Amino acid sequence: MSNINISKKRLDKEKVFVVIAPWKYRWFHHSMIKAKIPKDCGYLHYSYSMDILNDDPYITKQNFLEILDIIHDDMNHLNKLKERNFYMYGHSMAGTFVMILADLMPVKAVAAIVPGSNLAECFWNGASTQLLKQDMEQRGMTLPKLKDLWAEISPDSYFKKKSINTKFYLRLSSKDVVIPYENGIKLVKLMKKNKIKFELDENTLTHSHNCGYDYMFPAKTIKKLLNC
């Protein structure tokens, strides 16, 4: 399993932010986000090691499922103590986790910054994962096979249950080549088809600039979540 780190604060509060780190995360990336979360809200913050993505697609799938289980169990535990309003916040690949979890249990609102619809397609076509993709190809993996294998950990397999009652805030970039813009547009079309409530912001910044700007100036996104 990929190493996972968890930090938490003010978990007695009714409103709880669940912040999930992206791939290639550095500890300081979310320091400003946690600092800007209002004092009447608690937070759970999850990060994981880079080997969550492995050239063995079966190990990658197991890593994702184990992290989903950990976060889901933590949220369920808090709900058993008293009912909470959860606000989920994920950048880049972490959008996969927040979108799936919002379909598995009640979540008030979700912010997904530069996300994608299909995990396998994002991995196969994304600029940052080409070396791992090449290693998979040497193992005989193809995109159709990977889409079948990773269906359980792909956002486009969801948006059918609890997320119907969740409000989503999405930010996409037409210049994104890490999670290709076309895959983000597929996500928008899927959400429209399934009548999911969402707000969309689009820009022309790079993938890393979108994440970096939101790390440094998260107040807008936090406000949008709390106003849902």
Instruction: Give residue-wise pLDDT tens across range 48-68.
Output: 989 999 999 999 999 999 999
What does the block give as tokens for 174? 């037409």
Give the H or E element holding residue 180.
Answer: none
Q: Report residue 40's pLDDT band, with 50, 70 and 90 as the boundaries.
A: very high
What does the block give as tokens for 126? 């994304």
What would you report as the CA-atom Rg of the chain, rounded to the nearest whole angstrom? 16
Question: Phi and psi dihedrals of 161, rounded to 5?
Answer: -120, -105
Is the CA virtual torsion 46, 49, 50, 53 positive or negative?
negative
What does the block give as tokens for 156? 């486009």
Instruction: Give the pLDDT confidence of 162-192 residue by residue, as tens digits.
Output: 888 999 999 999 999 999 999 999 999 999 9
Q: What is the pLDDT of residue 1?
A: 61
Q: Report residue 19's pLDDT band, with 50, 70 and 90 as the boundaries.
A: very high
3-class SS of residue 173: strand
121 pLDDT above the threshold of 70: yes
Q: Report residue 161's pLDDT band, with 50, 70 and 90 as the boundaries.
A: confident
Question: Phi and psi dihedrals of 123, rounded to 5?
Answer: -65, -45
Question: Is 0.85 surpassed by the pTM of this model?
Answer: yes
Least Cα distance to 184 among 200, 196, 197, 164 occurs for: 200
Q: Domains in the chain, ordered, with CATH?
A: 4-226 (3.40.50.1820)
Phi-psi region of 46 (alpha: psi -120 to 50; beta: other; left: phi over 0): beta
Residue 211 near residue 113, CB atoms below 8 Å: yes
Give the H or E element holding residue 1.
Answer: none
